[in-house]
Structure 1
Amino acid sequence: MTVILVRHGRSTANTSGTLAGRTPGVALDEKGRSQAQGLVERLGDAVPRLRAVARSPLQRCAETVAPLVDHLDGIPEVTVDGLVEVDYGEWSGRKLTELVSEPLWKVVQRQPSHAVFPGGEGLGDVSRRATATVRELDREYAGDDGHGLWLACSHGDVIKSIVADALGMHLDAFQRVVVDPGSITVIRYAADRPYVLTLNNGGSLSLPAPRPSSDAEVGGGAGA
């Protein structure tokens, strides 16, 4: 079972240096709209294999997958609360340049597992709900052959927490992961372990064919 994780395209909050959080009405900017329009081409041969498109309820994710959903025929688009952006609470809507001086900023950078946003979520809670959501959906879309491929559109810190879990990293190391707006990350969930097939891909996607075994290839394998 394989999930293609897409971070929403660049938003007006990204370009203004604002922490949007769950603030309503945050749309894609011009570059973000271009990234959304180019998603079908970037996904290439993966598009006809998709069994579902899941997304965060927020506007910028809906706008990112809209061209892909229009292109697909009969593939369900599902809105999933578990993929929603972090609830940054009182930090939402503030400039990042202001937040740097907050004592919590250093906690977010160095010990994110201990970070709880005032009036919002803790990053540990984000990690638990995001990874549980992806694993549940992955089982749902696995298909009878177990080779299901589906796409989830979400947000930077949410995707980073999913990647950290797949890599077996402690959440305190998740700031080592970079997930840019419009990027593609792919994780295959096998019987023994997850495999991160691509991370923060800003170009075209090339997926290997489904493998009959879940074992890691000794020596690294032959690639796609």
Structure 2
Amino acid sequence: MATLILVRHGRTTANASGTLAGRLPGVRLDEVGTAQAERTAERLAPVPLVGVVTSPLERCRQTAKAVRAAQGGSPPLTSERGITECDYGDWAGRPIKELAKEKLWSLVQTQPSAAAFPGGEAMTAMQARAVAAVRRLDAAFEAEHGPGATWVAVSHGDVIKSVLADALGMHLDLFQRLHVDPASVSIIRYTATRPYVLATNTHAGDLSWLAPPPRRKGRGSRSSDAVVGGGAGPSATA
């Protein structure tokens, strides 16, 4: 099975000013966000990536280019509309402190499955298209590169949270229990048995363990079974 690394874009000018950017054009990483993206790229440098997929929005493209550059520029960089930002419609461009006074804000916090943004997208629709996109891409990368393939998807906070919720078997109404910071790394491995969530919202630490181990003759590189008792961890040879 392949391994999906979810990376949220670095901090933007909109994040810093407390504005909901949505899909507005021209929202770029600020100085802090650029440094965050570079640090995340350094963390991922030891991991041989077969592809880097990005939301079409500029802040994600900037982050994805940093990740690819740290790989020596070798993995292909592609854009995927399925993992673009939620369409917040009329909410886009408005201050967060102003939006927090809206009735819809409370619904987004407590029952996001019932929330639809005026002039925009329902949160259920956001999750459905994002999950469909990453599962389709994951299967394609595994089919092309084998079960040890590892790839990156650079996306947005609510989108990544919705994908993680799906992998965890959580109802969308519980996804606000998850937190995804700028330039954080979360990791999912989809198998025929179930998805495995290997990490969420990480900011530091060695990721070289994601490099696939040497394949044994007659066996895949990883088992899709959950080891009773928790197992010995990724450094184990068994």
Instruction: Say what the alpha-carbon RMSD is for the aligned residues.
Output: 1.3
Task: Indicate the SS of the match to 2:175.
Answer: helix
Superposition deviation, residue 15 in structure 1: 0.6
Distance 1:140 1:131 in 2: 14
AA aligned to 2:99 is L
Q: Is 1:43–1:204's contact at 8 Å kept on the other side of the alignment?
A: no
Alignment of 1:80-91 (within 5 A): 80-91=80-91
Alignment of 1:58 onto 2:71 = no
Q: Identity percentage over the alignment? A: 53
Alignment of 1:37 onto 2:47 = no
Q: Identify the residue that residue 115 of structure 1 maps to in structure 2.
A: 115
Q: Identify the residue that residue 6 of structure 1 maps to in structure 2.
A: 7
Q: Is 1:188–1:195's contact at 8 Å kept on the other side of the alignment?
A: yes
Superposition deviation, residue 144 in structure 1: 5.0
Distance 2:102 2:194 in 1: 38
Task: Indicate the SS of the match to 1:109.
Answer: helix
Distance 2:222 2:108 in 1: 40
Distance 1:188 1:73 in 2: 24
Distance 1:67 1:173 in 2: 32
Distance 2:43 2:30 in 1: 19
Q: Is 1:44–1:204's contact at 8 Å kept on the other side of the alignment?
A: no
AA aligned to 1:104 is L
Summarize deviations over 1:140-195 as a string: whole Å, max 9, x none.
Answer: 11145322110000000000000000000000000000000010000001110000
Distance 1:114 1:40 in 2: 36
Task: Indicate the SS of the match to 1:200.
Answer: strand
Alignment of 1:208-219 (within 5 A): 208=210, 209=212, 211-219=221-229
Alignment of 1:155 onto 2:165 = no
Summarize deviations over 1:80-137 as a string: whole Å, max 9, x none.
Answer: 0001000000000000100111010111000000000000000000000000000000
Q: Identify the residue that residue 216 of structure 2 maps to in structure 1.
A: none
Q: Is 1:89–1:118's contact at 8 Å kept on the other side of the alignment?
A: yes
Q: Identify the residue that residue 17 of structure 2 maps to in structure 1.
A: 16
Q: Is 2:161–2:178's contact at 8 Å kept on the other side of the alignment?
A: yes
Give the number of equivalent residue pairs: 222
Distance 1:65 1:76 in 2: 11
Task: Indicate the SS of the match to 1:26.
Answer: coil
Q: Identify the residue that residue 176 of structure 1 maps to in structure 2.
A: 177
Q: Is 1:7–1:184's contact at 8 Å kept on the other side of the alignment?
A: yes
Q: Identify the residue that residue 69 of structure 1 maps to in structure 2.
A: 68
Q: Is 1:2–1:148's contact at 8 Å kept on the other side of the alignment?
A: yes
Identify the range of structure 1 (158-167 vs 198-207) with the bigger mean alpha-carbon deviation.
198-207
Give TM-score, length-normalised by structure 2: 0.90
Q: Is 1:36–1:66's contact at 8 Å kept on the other side of the alignment?
A: no
Distance 1:212 1:186 in 2: 16
Distance 1:76 1:180 in 2: 25
Identify the range of structure 1 (185-194 vs 207-216) with the bigger mean alpha-carbon deviation.
207-216
Superposition deviation, residue 37 in structure 1: 1.8
AA aligned to 1:222 is A
Summarize deviations over 1:23-44 as a string: whole Å, max 9, x none.
Answer: 1000101110001222232114
Give TM-score, length-normalised by structure 1: 0.95
Gaps of 5+ in 1: none
Identify the range of structure 1 (143-152 vs 51-60) with the bigger mean alpha-carbon deviation.
143-152
